[in-house]
A and B are shown apart, each in its own frame.
Chain A
Amino acid sequence: MPSSESLGTAEPLRVSILTQGPYLIASIHTALDDEQLTRFQRNLIDRVGRQRSRGIVIDVSTLDVLDSFGTRTLTDLAQMARLRGAETVIVGINPEVAIAMVQLSLEVSFVHTALDLEEGLERLAEVTADIRSVAHGMAPERE
């Protein structure tokens, strides 16, 4: 059963972070300002360590815009998460957001992308399986 928790100290963040098995699912409900984004980043990284998560799915489908700061925060987050042993998948980027991002040459590195939450979880299962099997010197489990 996923557990939900509201983030933040000063005011409640409009982000919910759910635990689903070895993965964390973060959905952003409304546009976040820079300070909120930073707080979100820190909270998520904390929880990766605390819960020994293997992957993170960040759902941004409610966002109409993803600016350079947002993109960098997500990239940094993914990089930190990887340092602590978790892969990051961003899901739900809208067509308009995607076009705007490539036009502004915003790149998200260290990050996997998928269409929606379901796809994202599937993708995480793939990449974490690869990593695990490499670590144990086995071939990836594939059909």
Chain B
Amino acid sequence: MTETPRKLGTTDEEWAGNGELLPELVAHLRENRTALRQEWATRITDAHLLSSMTAKEVFSEATSVYDNYVEVLETGSVEALQHYARDLSERIIPRGVETHEVVGIVLLLRDVLARSLFEKYHRDFSLLNRVLDAYEPAANRIANTVAVSFVEERERVIRQQQDAILELSTPVLQVRERLLILPIIGVLDTQRARQLTEQLLRGIRDHRAKVVVIDITGVPDVDEGVANSLVQTVDASRLMGAEVIITGLSSTIAQILVNIGVDLNKMRTVGDLQGGIEEAERQLGFKVTRHHDAQL
């Protein structure tokens, strides 16, 4: 066997080149499965990784990972492991397991197995070297696969949640005939502001709205871009024949709007949502009377 420089990943060819040693390695790992697995689980607990899982759960996941690990060494195909890692991530992400923990446990397993190889082959240094040549690229590739699968799964969850938030975050509600309210909660960024404008305009057309109250009590902060797109929302609504009243401007936002010089003449503002709705009702000709007052 020729000396080849070690690489982080490994190609299938290299894998085949190391083929003669890998079966031996796999046999060794299978033989010592119980002891190594136990050792690994103990080290996970000692390192305070996966603290959100019980010892029993850690042990059972450790078993699966261990078996998958050996299988990858044997077959050279990471597909099954990838699948398992994604599955595992799906189960543990909701429980608050962090990326560093997942990477940490895989690296621990690598170390545990490497040590057992040292122990077995320490008498024959050149054989040990060749065993490590076969083992290390495979181990690194496995660590890589698990980490990437975990991060990908995490990103998928984040994307899904972002979509959900975007969809939920801008309800356009009709409170009276031809009167819509649009309560905005949370941070407004330019993308959300644009989406909000589109939804509002569609709402105006569908509900035939004449007055819209936009309540921004729940908005902590705005920047210049967002302030301008608010002004655009007001203008666009007017083009469609609806008047916009903005309510719930916090002192911070009022300050920002004045400081960045937004043209406030075009904006109609009322202190709070109640005031805004009352103003809108007046404009639409509604008169709200308390029941027992009306009887007097």
Q: Which residues of A contact B (CB under 8 A)?
A: 90-91, 93-95, 97-99, 101-103, 107-108, 113-116, 119-120, 123, 143
Cβ-defined contact, A95 with B205, below 8 A: yes
* CB pairs A–B below 8 angstroms (21 shown): A90-B239, A93-B241, A94-B205, A95-B204, A95-B205, A95-B236, A98-B237, A99-B232, A101-B235, A101-B236, A101-B239, A102-B232, A102-B239, A107-B235, A113-B241, A115-B205, A115-B240, A115-B241, A119-B208, A119-B210, A120-B241
Q: Which residues of B contact A (CB under 8 A)?
A: 194, 197-198, 201-202, 204-205, 208, 210, 232, 235-242, 285
CA distance A23 to B126 in the complex (A): 101
CA distance A84 to B239 in the complex (A): 24
Cβ-defined contact, A143 with B285, below 8 A: yes
Instruction: Select which of B202, B232, B238, B285 is within 8 A of A95 by beta carbon.
Output: B202
CA distance A108 to B238 in the complex (A): 10
CA distance A90 to B237 in the complex (A): 13
List B contacts of A91 (CB < 8 A): 241
User: Given known contacts A95-B202, A115-B204, A115-B208, is B236 in contact with A102 (CB within 8 Å)?
Assistant: yes
Cβ-defined contact, A93 with B198, below 8 A: no
User: Given known contacts A115-B204, A115-B205, A143-B285, is B236 in contact with A99 (CB within 8 Å)?
Assistant: yes
Cβ-defined contact, B232 with A119, below 8 A: no
List B contacts of A108 (CB < 8 A): 239
List A contacts of B205 (CB < 8 A): 94-95, 115
The dominant DSSP class at the B interface is helix
List B contacts of A116 (CB < 8 A): 208, 241
Shortest Cβ gap from B63 to chain A (Å): 57
Nearest 4 Cβ contacts at the A-B interface: A95-B201, A114-B241, A98-B236, A102-B232
Shortest Cβ gap from A125 to chain B (Å): 14
CA distance A120 to B197 in the complex (A): 23
The listed residue with most B CB atoms (<10 A of its CB), out of A95, A107, A108, A143, is: A95
List B contacts of A120 (CB < 8 A): 241
Cβ-defined contact, A113 with B240, below 8 A: yes
Shortest Cβ gap from A93 to chain B (Å): 5
Residue of A nearest to B231 (CB): A102
Instruction: Select which of B198, B208, B242 is within 8 A of A99 by beta carbon.
Output: B198
List B contacts of A123 (CB < 8 A): 241
Shortest Cβ gap from A84 to chain B (Å): 24
Shortest Cβ gap from A118 to chain B (Å): 9
CA distance A125 to B238 in the complex (A): 18
List A contacts of B208 (CB < 8 A): 115-116, 119
Instruction: Select which of B210, B232, B238, B240 is within 8 A of A103 by beta carbon.
Output: B232
Shortest Cβ gap from A89 to chain B (Å): 9
List B contacts of A113 (CB < 8 A): 238-241
Shortest Cβ gap from A91 to chain B (Å): 7
CA distance A45 to B36 in the complex (A): 93
Residue of A nearest to B200 (CB): A95
CA distance A102 to B193 in the complex (A): 14
CA distance A113 to B234 in the complex (A): 13
Residue of B nearest to A112 (CB): B241
